[in-house]
Amino acid sequence: MTITSEHYDELIKIRHYIHENPELSGQEFKTTQYLKDYLTDLGIQILETGLKTGLVAQIGSGQPVIALRADIDALPIVENTGLPFTSKNTGVMHACGHDLHQTSLLGAAKILKSREHEIDGTIKLIFQHAEESHIGADEVLATGVLADVSAIIGYHNMPTLPVGQIGIREKGIMAAVDQFYVTIKGVGSHAAYPQEGADSILATSAIIASLQQIVARNISPQHAVVVSVTHMTAGNTWNVLPDEAIFEGTIRTFDKDDRKLAKKRFYDIVENVSSAYGVHAEIDWILGPNVTYNDPELSEFLFNETRKWHDDVMVPEPSNAGEDFATYQEQIPGVFAFIGSNAIGSPGLHFSDMTVKDEMLPVAVDYYVNNAFALLERLAQK
């Protein structure tokens, strides 16, 4: 373990403070200032990016250049953990563990700065905003600040895995994300005279039921695809059939062809079932991040390197959750890992009662520090 007991205690206080003060995507102003102040006190250079929230810092100089990434935003969830450091911002919660991510990268920054004389090259530290809204990585890349980066690594805590267990797998580790929002426009009527209208609720119900055949009858059973309708709204009272109904949700895939087919079949079903019920459908399709695709060569290298200093490394099952770390990987060879943060059977990501253990922080710090040095050495030899 690279951190001292004093450093560990400091990181616990930092993590609890960040957890108490969560901010939504694009609104991470106080969080960003807190991070800037901490890094500046360490003498670490903050790069000019023009970003409103989030930041990129730098340790070392020259080639090669690598990047370490953590996300900083929280979710619009009312916290139900009962923790003594529960969120003070009602309705906003670090229910995805981004408080852990940024704290561990701060811990790594402190160690890397103290060992700057050992760094042959440059390490860029990305504290990324707006991961949950899938725009943060795009905005960081648009600044050009990562144009010279040859490799990038990150991780996501997994509260359903044992504390400190590290999972690294090559190729797809997290799913591609598509989001849909559909408005079904019918003709409202008195509930006692449905023949005088076009029932938006009946049509929407039929559409939602039919959408399940996308996976069941169109995609190979060997492929992981999920279609989930997560929200439906229609009507205002008991005796009126409404003009409109809306529903929204998500599709998760790992294969490009599956992604295209799922979207095509979605449009076919929504439009054709709507037509059969005499209503009109308007579909808003929101393209999310692609598959979080780990570079095979780098994944094998980091798996073997990680096993040199950690005794609990495994190949995890892919997650149907999505990550905009995938956006970096489209331009930079990268590896995204899982690190266990609680225990098997614990509430998972985005749950209001999700808790994570501070004990995983030393492992996450080591993941950044040890693999940063390993990557720099490997790239220098090429």
Peptide bond into 64 cis (omega under 30): yes
Judging by DSSP bridges, how do beta strands 225-234 and 244-253 pair with one another? Answer: antiparallel
Would you say 372 and 68 are in contact if contact means Cβ atoms under 8 Å apart?
Answer: yes
In this predicted structure, the answer to whether residue 104 has a pLDDT above a threshold of 90 is yes
Mean pLDDT of 356-364: 98
Name the amino acid, one letter, at 290: N
Would you say 32 and 46 are in contact if contact means Cβ atoms under 8 Å apart?
Answer: no
Angle between helices 361-380 and 296-309 (to 10 degrees): 120
pLDDT interval class at 112 (50, 70, 90): very high
Cβ neighbours of residue 1 closer than 8 Å, sequence gap 6 or more: 362, 366
Question: End-to-end alpha-carbon separation of the chain, Å?
Answer: 29
Mean pLDDT of 21-43: 98
Please report the pLDDT score of residue 382 as a whole number.
74
* pLDDT, tens digit (0-9, with 9 covering 90-100), for 151-185: 999 999 999 999 999 999 999 999 999 999 999 99
98 is in an annotated binding site: yes
In this predicted structure, the answer to whether residue 15 has a pLDDT above a threshold of 90 is yes
How far is residue 68's CA from residue 302's CA, in Å, rounded to a whole number?
Answer: 14
Percent of the chain predicted with pLDDT > 90: 98
350 is in an annotated binding site: yes
In this predicted structure, the answer to whether residue 368 has a pLDDT above a threshold of 70 is yes
Average pLDDT of the residues of the chain: 97
pLDDT interval class at 1 (50, 70, 90): low
116 is in an annotated binding site: no
In this predicted structure, the answer to whether residue 24 has a pLDDT above a threshold of 90 is yes
* pLDDT, tens digit (0-9, with 9 covering 90-100), for 245-262: 999 999 999 999 999 999
Percent of the chain predicted with pLDDT > 70: 100
Mean pLDDT of 66-77: 98
* pLDDT, tens digit (0-9, with 9 covering 90-100), for 121-144: 999 999 999 999 999 999 999 999
156 is in an annotated binding site: yes
Please report the pLDDT score of residue 2 as a whole number.
77
Please report the pLDDT score of residue 68 as a whole number.
99
Domains of the chain, first to last: 5-173+291-380 (3.40.630.10), 176-287 (3.30.70.360)
Judging by DSSP bridges, how do beta strands 189-190 and 240-241 pair with one another? Answer: antiparallel
* pLDDT, tens digit (0-9, with 9 covering 90-100), for 212-240: 999 999 999 999 999 999 999 999 999 99
* pLDDT, tens digit (0-9, with 9 covering 90-100), for 287-324: 999 999 999 999 999 999 999 999 999 999 999 999 99
In this predicted structure, the answer to whether residue 335 has a pLDDT above a threshold of 70 is yes
How far is residue 91's CA from residue 152's CA, in Å, rounded to a whole number?
Answer: 33
Please report the pLDDT score of residue 10 as a whole number.
98
* pLDDT, tens digit (0-9, with 9 covering 90-100), for 194-213: 999 999 999 999 999 999 99
132 is in an annotated binding site: yes
